[in-house]
Amino acid sequence: MRRLILNADDFGLTAGVNQAVAELHRAAVLTSATLMARAKATEEAIEIALATPSLGVGCHVVLVDGAPVLQAQEIPTLLDLETGQEAGQGTRRFQPTLGPFLRRLIAGRMDSAELEAETAAQIDLLQSRGLTLTHIDTHKHIHMFPAVLRPVLRAARRAGIRAVRNPFEPAWSLRATPPASAIRRMQVRLLRRLERTFRRIVAEEGFTTTDGALGVSATGALDSKAVSSILYSIPPGNWELVLHPGYNDADLAVAGTRLLASREVELQALLSWQPLASRPEAQGIQLISFAGLGADV
């Protein structure tokens, strides 16, 4: 059996991203989305999610390149001390990019209890609004690192969540996504060395996950050709196609994301496959959300 989750990240980032998520789900080419607890269009995304119970919704835990839910004094080791000083507002944000985040993490200067507390706060914010969360993943896939994975899973387990993204892209998916740059492909291959440890920790913590994440290497270059190639290549198993669709509006332009024009390219590539389940190459692929991972096949 081949089962596929089509998940859109960054739900709540902007109104244009929210519009794309809603449109793709109505077109039956999106089964799941992960919602940011504190982003410009989070409130609108929550309203869409509550009005669309057929859409699986998870928490897109943000611990880098974003703003926290907790107060600065509660999570000092997670924050960029320079943020907000120019404006004189004292506003604190997480590290702006993955580089400084990892340097602090590797140096042991990031408190595990703070990672767990902030994750719990983000999950609680969404659950308190009435959302039933199907799973968790993280912005920039940082839960692939064991020092982040453990506290994130502990927070999720306390909240009743038992599914997590497997952020590692399998070799067959790399071969099936020719748009991916050589540097991106090399990064994905190197990071796959962490997968064995990831799977061990996930099992120890009592979570379920997929066999791998598809399209990670093609993030920012996921066009109709790549989508087609991936769908033709899917082997038996449980897989997640990681998506970043959206409309390139004014809010997205100032959001600081590197994924601008590519979001609309991805959106149109997915819409061109509508309805996905009726296309010949998709026959035999069961479309599910993370809520269906534990179901019998």
Q: Could you state, in order of their start, the residue ranges of all structural domains in the chain?
A: 2-292
Instruction: Tell me the two tokens of residue 54.
Output: 């057929």
The conformation of residue 164, written as its DSSP 8-state character, comes to B
Closest CA to 96 of 138, 67, 130: 67
pLDDT at 89 (0 to 100) = 44
Give pTM, 2 decimals: 0.91
What CATH class is the domain 2-292? alpha beta
Residue 260 has pLDDT above 80, yes or no: no
For the chain, helix, strand, coil in percent to 5 are 45, 15, 40
> Is 163 in contact with 290 (CB distance < 8 Å)?
yes
The pLDDT-based confidence of 78 (bands split at 50, 70, 90) is very high
The β-bridge relationship of strands 93-94 and 79-80 is antiparallel
Q: Which residue has the higher pLDDT, 201 or 1?
A: 201
What 3-state class would DSSP assign to 2?
Answer: strand
pLDDT tens profile 140-172: 999 999 999 999 999 999 999 999 999 999 999
113 phi and psi angles, rounded to 5 deg? -65, -35
pLDDT tens profile 19-51: 999 999 999 889 999 999 999 999 999 999 999
Mean pLDDT in the chain?
Answer: 88
Mean pLDDT of 229-256: 84
Spatial separation of the C-alpha atoms in residues 292 and 283, rounded to whole Å? 18
Residue with tokens 């598809």: 214
User: CA–CA distance from 214 to each of 5, 50, 114 (Å)?
Assistant: 10, 27, 30
Q: How many CB atoms lie within 10 A of CB 265?
A: 17
Q: Which residues contact 110 (CB under 8 A, 6 or more apart)?
A: 77, 78, 101, 104, 147
pLDDT at 195 (0 to 100) = 96
Closest CA to 60 of 111, 134, 113, 6: 134
